[in-house]
């Protein structure tokens, strides 16, 4: 039997180490073993039994063709993720998405602080000169944005070592691990749906709060803007964190498509990142120019919600058009 085992190992040495290939190898070994002992019981010698078994089961190309695995033979070998690797990926995703969400919140709250300082100065509640107030507000905004950029980079680096999971989909899961991930996803789905609903409600209610407080007088205008931005920042954090965790489960299970993530999915991600890298810096530039040159601090806060809407609209339009052409 040692000769048959060595021969079988050599047969599969050059083939991808996929779950299908391992199952085929196990089944082939069982068949060869049964045939070997059957021949031995029929009175064949050791060498005769081995020779007959190898002659009957030794053509790997015919076996692969018979089992319909010809495409798998040529594909890139996939890494089978262990349970600890899956846990590390999920933990890193939670950590990265948490800090990326905090970074997004800081960008919005930086604008809220700037608007609040300027509003307090104009209302006379903050007794400092306009130059000092604007400089302080801009400084806080830039510190918040710089901190956010650092958090974005940190979050990206945390997930960089999981590219074979996050973007390439070049991996496989054992049956036990897949079952565990599916159970965890089902348990997490109600939480994800609840946070999604809360986030949408906060986005819808944020302008309602703004207009409601405005009815009490202009003195409440500055506070209504700040409250609106705080509500938006909470919604953004919920979207980023819980959406990323739920997306991690989908990536592990490859639920977008049975064969993994498509090129269209990758193109959408890259395009969304490219658009975001243009829209948000441009929004900050417009915000600063409209404030310093045209003194529109009381209204230019609306630039950031508009930028978010434009980014979301472009993402949705690109996804729809991209799938329509397929």
Residue 116 clears pLDDT 70, i.e. is over it: yes
Residue 20 clears pLDDT 90, i.e. is over it: no
What's the pLDDT score for residue 47?
79
Q: How confident is the model at residue 257 (pLDDT cuts 50, 70, 90)?
A: very low
Paired strand residues for 24: none
CA distance 41 to 191: 61
58's CB contacts (< 8 A; 6+ apart) are 7, 11
Q: Which of 116, 110, 89, 99 is nearest to 181 (CA)?
A: 89
Contact between 86 and 252 (Cβ < 8 Å): yes
What's the pLDDT score for residue 217?
64
What's the pLDDT score for residue 114?
81
Mean pLDDT to the nearest integer, 51-75? 60
Q: What is the domain partition of the chain in residue ranges? A: 2-74, 82-261
Biggest distance spanned by C-alpha atoms of the chain: 107
CA distance 90 to 86: 6
Mean pLDDT to the nearest integer, 172-189? 89
Q: Residue 217 region, left (φ>0) first, then alpha (ψ -120 to 50), else beta?
A: left
CA distance 60 to 83: 31
Residue 261 clears pLDDT 60, i.e. is over it: no
Mean pLDDT of the chain: 75
What's the pLDDT score for residue 275?
62
Q: How confident is the model at residue 156 (pLDDT cuts 50, 70, 90)?
A: confident
- Strongest mean pLDDT among 4-8, 92-96, 302-306, 321-325: 92-96
Mean pLDDT to the nearest integer, 36-45? 82
Comparing 140-144, 244-248, 282-286, 288-292, the range with the smallest average pLDDT is 288-292
173's CB contacts (< 8 A; 6+ apart) are 80, 81, 86, 181, 252, 253
Contact between 79 and 172 (Cβ < 8 Å): yes
Q: Of 251 and 314, which is predicted with more confidence?
A: 251
Digit-coded pLDDT (tens) for 140-151: 888 998 898 899
Strand ranges (E), the chain: 79-81, 171-173
Kindly report the pTM of this predicted structure.
0.61
What's the pLDDT score for residue 236?
86
SS3 171: strand
DSSP string, 115-127: HHHHHHHHTTSS-
Mean pLDDT to the nearest integer, 107-131? 80
Per DSSP bridges, beta strands 171-173 and 79-81 are parallel
């Amino acid at each position: 039997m040692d000769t048959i085992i060595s021969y079988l190992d050599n047969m599969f040495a050059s083939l991808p180490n996929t779950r299908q290939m391992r199952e085929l190898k196990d089944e082939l070994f069982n068949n060869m073993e049964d045939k070997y002992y059957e021949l031995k019981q029929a009175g064949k010698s050791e060498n005769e039994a081995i020779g007959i078994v190898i002659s009957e089961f030794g053509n790997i190309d015919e076996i692969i063709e018979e089992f319909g695995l010809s495409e798998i033979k040529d594909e890139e070998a996939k890494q089978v993720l262990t349970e600890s690797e899956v846990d590390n990926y999920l933990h890193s995703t939670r950590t990265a998405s948490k800090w990326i969400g905090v970074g997004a919140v800081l960008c919005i709250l930086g604008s809220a602080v700037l608007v609040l300082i300027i509003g307090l100065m104009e209302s006379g509640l903050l007794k400092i000169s306009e130059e000092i107030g604007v400089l302080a507000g801009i400084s806080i905004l830039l510190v918040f944005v710089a901190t956010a950029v650092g958090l974005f980079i940190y979050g990206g680096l945390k997930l960089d070592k999981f590219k074979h999971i996050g973007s390439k989909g070049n991996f496989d899961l054992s049956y036990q691990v897949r079952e565990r991930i599916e159970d965890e996803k089902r348990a997490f789905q109600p939480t994800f749906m609840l946070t999604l609903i809360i986030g949408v409600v906060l986005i819808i209610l944020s302008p309602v709060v703004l207009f409601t407080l405005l009815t009490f007088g202009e003195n409440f205008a500055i506070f209504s803007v700040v409250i609106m931005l705080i509500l938006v920042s909470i919604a953004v954090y919920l979207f980023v964190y819980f959406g990323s965790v739920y997306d991690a489960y989908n990536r592990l299970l490859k639920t977008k498509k049975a064969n993994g993530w498509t090129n269209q999915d990758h193109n959408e991600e890259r395009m969304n990142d490219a658009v975001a890298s243009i829209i948000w810096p441009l929004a900050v530039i417009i915000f600063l120019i409209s404030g310093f040159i045209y003194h529109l601090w009381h209204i230019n806060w609306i630039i950031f919600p508009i930028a978010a809407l434009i980014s979301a609209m472009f993402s949705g339009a690109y996804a729809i058009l991209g799938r329509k052409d397929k």
